[in-house]
Chain A
């Protein structure tokens, strides 16, 4: 069974805080992705990674960075959280061309 987990379901942070969102997959997948999902805007790709220590910018990378030190773990970092980063964050990985999502982290920045 495909398993993508995210460290938190709900998170509340203050403006200016550094925020870490963790994603782990247990399937030895090479490709991993971070999206955010907002009403009316759909899913937007922030960053993705094809392998350990490799990263590529997606459509909206500004204000975010990522880290992939181990194959199974892909972290999204908000260096200085802002209120416009309040959103649902979704991690995903690919197996056999099929993309699977984690349960999501709903982040609120106050």
Chain B
């Protein structure tokens, strides 16, 4: 079983839709959870960062961590064409190296 699983998509939605992106993981010791957005031919950009369980909201973006289910989510409300990118989840325990999902490619159609 892989440490982090992420559906690669692709996911295609109309503008204004609510988008749900998810990752599951197997290591219950993970404490830090991140979401990155990566535009084509660019480096990943840190979007959301959460420590332990709970929700975090930033504008149209909400990150959720459910440690009991080993499941994290990123919700995008009122999605825009500029949200079209690949979204990577990442997580780690303490100061250990980050473990990444393989990314989900999202397209928001005008």
- A residues sitting closer than 8 Å to B (CB atoms) are 4, 31, 33, 40-43, 45, 48, 58, 88, 90, 97-104, 106
Contact = CB atoms under 8 A, between A and B. Distances in A.
B42 A100 contact: no
Given A40-B102, A99-B90, A33 B43 contact: no
A99 B97 CA distance: 10
Contact of A58 (B32, B51, B88, B97): B97
B43 A42 contact: no
A11 B86 CA distance: 23
**Which are the 3 A-B pairs with shortest beta-carbon distances?**
A42-B102, A101-B43, A104-B43
B20 to A, nearest CB: 20
Given A97-B51, A98-B46, A104-B42, 8 more contacts: A33-B97, A40-B102, A42-B100, A90-B44, A98-B34, A99-B98, A101-B46, A104-B41
Contact of B100 (A43, A88, A98): A43
B102 A99 contact: no
Interface string B37-71: 00001111110010100000000000000000000
User: Which size class do B's interface residues fall under?
Assistant: 20 to 34
24 contacts: A4-B43, A31-B95, A33-B97, A41-B102, A42-B88, A42-B100, A42-B101, A42-B102, A42-B103, A43-B88, A43-B100, A45-B97, A48-B97, A88-B41, A90-B43, A97-B32, A97-B49, A98-B49, A99-B34, A99-B46, A99-B98, A100-B46, A104-B41, A104-B43
A88 B103 CA distance: 15
A88 to B, nearest CB: 8
